[in-house]
Amino acid sequence: METNWGARRNESAIEKLPVTTSIAVTKLGLAGDEQADVIHGGAGQALYAYAREDLDWWSERLNRPLRDGMFGENLTLRGFDVSGALLAERWRIGNVLAEVTAPRMACGTFGAWMREKQWGPTFNATRRPGAYLRVLEEGELSPGDGVEVVWRPDEHVTVAEGVAGILGDEDVLRRIAVLSKQVPEWDFEAVMLHAWRRAKSAARRKQEALSGTGGEKTHA
């Protein structure tokens, strides 16, 4: 898919469509699932899960239907509180073992795809981000596979709370730091990448304001 804003045209792989058969899962995600750039993908974001119930919640507020995969998720889960999951907890889905790495933060591509004004701030403020996961054990997934939480860390930081940490909440960032020490094998960088990108973007906008150049292109 191509997205357009201003004079820029960007390739995106945000569009996801349902499958009806089993699909292989590797350390980089689902077989055939594309990643258009290095920011949206990689081992730490191999899977993106979103709750069907949260899609329904958004559908009511946006007054339009939202199909499975509409938010770019490659796993749409029913009856499972994705955003209430804990960072670093592990799920067994089919015969795949996956670890929750980070919340999803809305970006410019997501906003262009949704065609909703101020989509980034609106999405991030609701604390219904869905979860990125990395694949610890490869395997296959089939439509209808259940999700079992097989391990949870002692330090409880939910995916939804992770959004607050990325937005600068010092208490949540402290707890994430504790979590990273308790579970050193957890992919701590997946969360901090979001925080670093937002800090870099904020610094750029501040510099533009001070220099009087202004910034026409901003990302949520």
Please compute, for residue 74, the number of CA atoms within 13 A of its CA located in the half-sphere on the CB side. 25
Range of the domain at 198: 2-211
pLDDT of res. 152: 98
Contact assessment for residue 68 and residue 61, using Cβ atoms and an 8 Å cutoff: no
pLDDT of res. 35: 59
| Residue 216 belongs to a domain | no
Q: Kindly give the parts of the chain with pLDDT less than 70.
A: 1-15, 34-41, 196, 198-203, 205-206, 212-220
Judged by DSSP in three states, 103 sits in strand
| Residue 195 belongs to a domain | yes
pLDDT of res. 171: 95
Q: State the first-to-last Cα distance of the chain, in angstroms, to the nearest integer.
A: 20
| Residue 103 belongs to a domain | yes
What does the block give as tokens for 93? Answer: 């889905």
pLDDT of res. 195: 73
**Residue labelled with tokens 């906008």:** 205
What does the block give as tokens for 151? Answer: 């391990």
Radius of gyration of the chain (CA): 17
| Residue 179 belongs to a domain | yes
| Residue 38 belongs to a domain | yes
| Residue 218 belongs to a domain | no
Please indicate, yes or no, whether the overall pTM of this predicted structure exceeds 0.85: no
162 burial level (CB within 10 Å; 0-12, 13-18, 19+): buried
The CATH number given to whatever domain includes residue 11 is: 2.40.33.20
| Residue 22 belongs to a domain | yes
pLDDT of res. 202: 63
Distance CA 15, CA 142 (A): 19
Q: How many domains does the chain have?
A: 1
Contact assessment for residue 38 and residue 96, using Cβ atoms and an 8 Å cutoff: no
